[in-house]
Structure 1
């Protein structure tokens, strides 16, 4: 297990003195609270997982053996590595390490003039991974509607149709509908529970007529003692532990067997099940949950695959389906996968809304560009239930972040929980997304071709220390600065603007860049600054 600040005692394979004002992004999205690295002590072993109270390890987000610097340097590998930062240096232990950048005798940043985060990132996109397209464009062009919070563990055909109809009737645009956990009879039985969904084909036809694509939730788990368990165990398609016995693993819904993702026949079986859902009912795609590194052991019998490679195999499987979503991935930079953040609680701190921008920027800097900031208002079901109600201001601010993120996903029905002023503020955010959607889709197409990130840290286009330390705002392409309000009851927002001239979206006031500016805000304010071309 990952134990925090420990580092193995042998000498590092790379020792890199940090440059003046240099900051680094990358590694694991789980560690975004510490990013950008470079101003404090921090260490991480990318082959391990964070601990959890149950001892199984915490569920994970995206991770990759990639570190990239605001001074045009990078470290990467095809294997997980261990690294440690101090304010003076970066040390790396690992195999097949690739270091790009200069190592000047002095940490004076001027010795690396002209070397940028953008240049280092594009070197990685050209030489370390291969951009291979984007997921289905429907994931960007309309909202995503996930049933999880409104009907956790008990979706039915009637509830799904009512949920979507209510969304559309209150003025929300059509989008992608994700039917979440327990639409099937058992885990591993990827067939509709006909007691809850008596006519799945009719349901899908109706949703299609309403302009909505349909996705189903899938995990690589198999319920013990089910018919599928017995058949898959007999066929040798289930993961075996070090003793050659079928491995049973605890996850958030109990204890299950695991499909052996290192077995090509097992993957072929799963693809047949999912393809049959598409043929029989018109299902458009799938939400691939779980597949976390914590679900596997180094001692498992996996045809030589390590735990991170089993997670990677789960991600690769999803490339069979253009309409997809993942939460846990290893080393899938450049892949055409929609990548969601880990479930968030409905809080204002760095576990909740404060985590969204740093985590999405970390996703972007490890090559996972097609990101979603979880379900608007929060998707962590225990915390959402315990909250006992919706903080309307938090919901609106969350929606404003999502509105100018690559993807926007709802679960809680806005019309059910928002009063008129809050709902009007939400509609304004949706209108802003519609206004900038052509620009966003241009960025998606560029990313699909050459890997250029959609969301970018401020330091991607500005080499100042002020930009390097910004983690509560972002750039959408090179022409928009997005600075959502992240504080409860805020009446103003301080924003850093890169060099040049920038026009504030609402007032059309033009500001000189290279400085912080402060603007007044109310509930419906989403600060957006557009580059003014000379």
Structure 2
């Protein structure tokens, strides 16, 4: 299937990861392979254009931009006549990935989310978790969702608190709740071999297999594991029993990690005869029944009520680090994943973070916080009061206070997204289709009337902002724009924020 790109037409979609290269136009040369989502983030078999057109396929496809054309290796749906980017996106959402359910828990949008990973890595334990929670409050931060990351159980597939690490788990949960925290636990769809749970799962025939009929033992970032066959209702029931037992003692929900397509070979054998892409989607569908959920990897999960985090980012200023945060979050929104978290502040790629821990870039940490504070979900992991000096930490608190000010608006937009699919954080071209903002991906609209432009470059204290025509309030002053690019300087510790005047 081949068709022409229109004059001044720009296309967005496919992968969230690496989306700073988008949009694509008639001058672009690019190959996008959606047959397997081997990225570590969300992907949708969907592209949408500023000329009111969209592409959709129920399966992944191979797409080529080149010579002013789009060539696809199979027939897909090409729909047109929806005027602009917003019209085409909303039409596609209604038809192919409808919203209309309750979104993830409101708690994600009210206060910062805290994850114990960078502080504790695999050494999660009761004493340290309680200390982390107390430190949050003692250092002037609000209680919020607290995620206990990998290491709280004895091994994968045995989803019970380790009695050695968490001797009083139920009491710990009650204590955390009394302090105002909601508590989530990290889990994955993998099972450690040579364990009782592995033998049980093998006997129940609920594991993914390889062609010779043996259980798949896949290599992933934490070693070698068997993998649960989520297309088998018995596997779902087996997992349900464990997670509901945790819910009964006070766990609010789960961080659903893993299920990366790259860890499932193409020739997997499953009860439902599903592909690796479909197996990843089943993990998302399973997670959706919990209001407290977090996902990082997905295929065709647009429209689901999931809090979708960006993949772990390195602690640097590059296009794979801090400069990826706004473009990737915008791409989440335009592909049906509006409830996004721009990774853990400072960078969630823990090996990279640890390598830099002795020479941490405090400016980068501050800028990441300023970027995250007005995006859908703001998430900390490394304790900023520990890794930053007082001046830098005071700037963190300023960004958190700005978040508190706009939290009602963010929550309102999250509810609107759950009903309609409209992104919380939106491309400038989505809200201002005649403004020529198709390539602007380092600033965003928070809803229809709040423009946010964070600083993403080291050493800068001001930046150029594309300001749409009209009257805008900036730091107490009304400015008028004819669609100008203006150099603006924010107050220290916060991004540039302009509010549209009536």
2:42 to 62, 79, 83: 62
2:159 is the alignment partner of 1:190 = yes
2:150 to 178, 181, 204: 181
2:382 to 397, 401, 412: 412
Q: CA deviation at 1:362?
A: 0.9
What is residue 96 of structure 2 aligned with on the other side? 128
What is residue 443 of structure 1 aligned with on the other side? 413
Tell me how far apart the structure 2 counterparts of residues 498 and 43 of structure 1 sit (CA, whole Å). 33
State the Cα deviation string for residues 387-427 of structure 1 (Å, max 9, x = none). Answer: 13321111111011110000010001111122222122111
What is residue 80 of structure 2 aligned with on the other side? 101
2:363 is the alignment partner of 1:393 = yes
Q: CA deviation at 1:200?
A: 0.3
Tell me how far apart the structure 2 counterparts of residues 479 and 93 of structure 1 sit (CA, whole Å). 40
What is residue 28 of structure 2 aligned with on the other side? 40
Tell me how far apart the structure 2 counterparts of residues 34 and 485 of structure 1 sit (CA, whole Å). 19
Q: CA deviation at 1:448?
A: 1.0
Tell me how far apart the structure 2 counterparts of residues 155 and 344 of structure 1 sit (CA, whole Å). 22
Tell me how far apart the structure 1 counterparts of residues 494 and 342 of structure 2 sit (CA, whole Å). 19
- Between stretches 473-482 and 494-503, larger displacement belongs to 494-503
State the Cα deviation string for residues 440-499 of structure 1 (Å, max 9, x = none). Answer: 111111111111111111100122474101011111111111110001110321011223
What is residue 90 of structure 1 aligned with on the other side? 70
2:450 is the alignment partner of 1:463 = no
Number of residues paired by the alignment? 498
What is residue 59 of structure 2 aligned with on the other side? 79
2:268 is the alignment partner of 1:300 = yes
Alignment of 1:341-352 (within 5 A): 341-352=310-321
Tell me how far apart the structure 2 counterparts of residues 272 and 327 of structure 1 sit (CA, whole Å). 24
Q: Is the 8 Å Cα contact of residues 493 and 518 (structure 1) preserved in structure 2?
A: yes
2:236 is the alignment partner of 1:267 = yes
What is residue 157 of structure 1 aligned with on the other side? 126
Tell me how far apart the structure 2 counterparts of residues 531 and 72 of structure 1 sit (CA, whole Å). 26
Q: Is the 8 Å Cα contact of residues 333 and 422 (structure 2) preserved in structure 1?
A: no
Q: CA deviation at 1:121?
A: 0.7
TM-aligned CA distance change 1:377 to 1:513, over 3 Å: farther
Q: Is the 8 Å Cα contact of residues 422 and 523 (structure 1) preserved in structure 2?
A: no
Q: Is the 8 Å Cα contact of residues 64 and 332 (structure 1) preserved in structure 2?
A: yes
2:292 is the alignment partner of 1:313 = no
Structure 1, unpaired ranges of 5+:
1-12, 51-58, 103-113
2:345 is the alignment partner of 1:376 = yes
What is the SS of the residue equivalent to 1:468?
coil
2:474 is the alignment partner of 1:495 = no
Q: CA deviation at 1:267?
A: 1.0
2:10 is the alignment partner of 1:30 = no
What is the SS of the residue equivalent to 2:417?
helix
Tell me how far apart the structure 2 counterparts of residues 371 and 271 of structure 1 sit (CA, whole Å). 26
Q: Is the 8 Å Cα contact of residues 461 and 498 (structure 1) preserved in structure 2?
A: no
Tell me how far apart the structure 1 counterparts of residues 357 and 408 of structure 2 sit (CA, whole Å). 38
Tell me how far apart the structure 2 counterparts of residues 36 and 202 of structure 1 sit (CA, whole Å). 51
Tell me how far apart the structure 2 counterparts of residues 148 and 165 of structure 1 sit (CA, whole Å). 16
Q: Is the 8 Å Cα contact of residues 455 and 461 (structure 2) preserved in structure 1?
A: no
2:220 is the alignment partner of 1:251 = yes
Q: CA deviation at 1:100?
A: 1.2
What is residue 178 of structure 2 aligned with on the other side? 209
Q: Is the 8 Å Cα contact of residues 469 and 480 (structure 2) preserved in structure 1?
A: no
Give the TM-score normalised by the residue count of structure 2: 0.97
Q: Is the 8 Å Cα contact of residues 133 and 335 (structure 1) preserved in structure 2?
A: no
Structure 2, unpaired ranges of 5+:
none
Give the TM-score normalised by the residue count of structure 1: 0.91
Q: Is the 8 Å Cα contact of residues 37 and 299 (structure 2) preserved in structure 1?
A: no
Q: CA deviation at 1:507?
A: 4.3
What is residue 517 of structure 1 aligned with on the other side? 486
Q: CA deviation at 1:261?
A: 1.4
State the Cα deviation string for residues 289-339 of structure 1 (Å, max 9, x = none). Answer: 011111222211122211100000000000121100000011111111000
* CA RMSD between the two structures: 1.4
